[in-house]
Structure 1
Amino acid sequence: MNTTAIFEPIGHESLSDAVVAQIEDLIASGILKQGRKLPSERDLAETLRVSRPKLREALAVLEERGLVTTQHGEGTFVAALTGSAMLPALLALYERHEPAFFDYLEYRREQEGFAAKLAARRATKADKERITDILAEDERAWHEKDALASREADFALHAAIVDASQNATLIHMMASIYELTRQGVFYNRDFLKTIDGTGKLLMEQHRELGMAVIAGNEARAEKAAYDHIDFVEESFKLGIERRRREAMAEKRRLLSDSKL
Structure 2
Amino acid sequence: MAHLRDILGRAPSLADTLALRLREEIASGRLRPGERLPTEHQMSETYGVSRPIVREAVGRLKHDGLVTTRQGAGAFVADPGAVSTFRLDIADFSDKEEMSAIVELLMAVEATATGHAAVRRSDAELAHIRAQLDAMQQAIDRGEPGVDEDMAFHRAIVEATGNPFFRDLSQFLDHRVRHFIRTARSNTARLGGLAQAVQHEHEAIYAAIEGQDAAAARAAAEEHLRNAATRLALYLKP
**Which category describes the TM-score, using the shorter chain as reference length?**
0.5 to 0.7
**In 2, Cα distance between the equivalents of 1:192 and 1:213?**
27
Quote the residue 1:119 is aligned against.
117
**How far is the alpha carbon of 1:231 from its aligned partner?**
0.5
1:134/1:156 contact within 8 Å kept: yes
Residue 159 to residue 113, structure 1, CA distance change in 2 (3 Å)? same
RMSD: 2.9
CA displacement 1:48-73 (0-9 Å, x = unmatched): xxxxxxxxxxxxxxxxxxxxxxxxxx
Q: Does 1:156 align with 2:152?
A: yes
Write the letter of the residue equivalent to 1:220: A
Q: How does 1:192-231 map to 2 (within 5 A)?
A: 192-193=188-189, 197-231=193-227
Write the letter of the residue equivalent to 2:126: K
Quote the residue 1:106 is aligned against.
104
**How far is the alpha carbon of 1:191 from its aligned partner?**
6.5
Q: TM-score, normalised by structure 2?
A: 0.58
**In 2, Cα distance between the equivalents of 1:206 and 1:196?**
18
Residue 141 to residue 175, structure 1, CA distance change in 2 (3 Å)? same
Quote the residue 1:257 is aligned against.
none
Quote the residue 1:179 is aligned against.
175
Residue 200 to residue 221, structure 1, CA distance change in 2 (3 Å)? same
Stretches of structure 1 lacking an aligned partner (at least 5 in a row): 1-78, 244-260
**In 2, Cα distance between the equivalents of 1:198 and 1:235?**
9
Number of equivalenced pairs: 158
**In 2, Cα distance between the equivalents of 1:187 and 1:106?**
19
Q: Match of 1:145, SS?
A: coil
**How far is the alpha carbon of 1:111 from its aligned partner?**
1.1
Stretches of structure 2 lacking an aligned partner (at least 5 in a row): 1-58, 65-85
**How far is the alpha carbon of 1:197 from its aligned partner?**
2.2
Q: Match of 1:165, SS?
A: coil
Quote the residue 1:145 is aligned against.
143
Residue 106 to residue 168, structure 1, CA distance change in 2 (3 Å)? same
Quote the residue 1:58 is aligned against.
none
Q: How does 1:1-260 map to 2 (within 5 A)?
A: 83-84=63-64, 86=87, 90-91=89-90, 93-95=91-93, 97-147=95-145, 150-181=146-177, 184=180, 188-190=184-186, 192-193=188-189, 197-239=193-235, 242-243=237-238
**How far is the alpha carbon of 1:198 from its aligned partner?**
3.6
**In 2, Cα distance between the equivalents of 1:238 and 1:198?**
12
**In 1, Cα distance between the equivalents of 2:120 and 2:231?**
31
**How far is the alpha carbon of 1:145 from its aligned partner?**
0.9
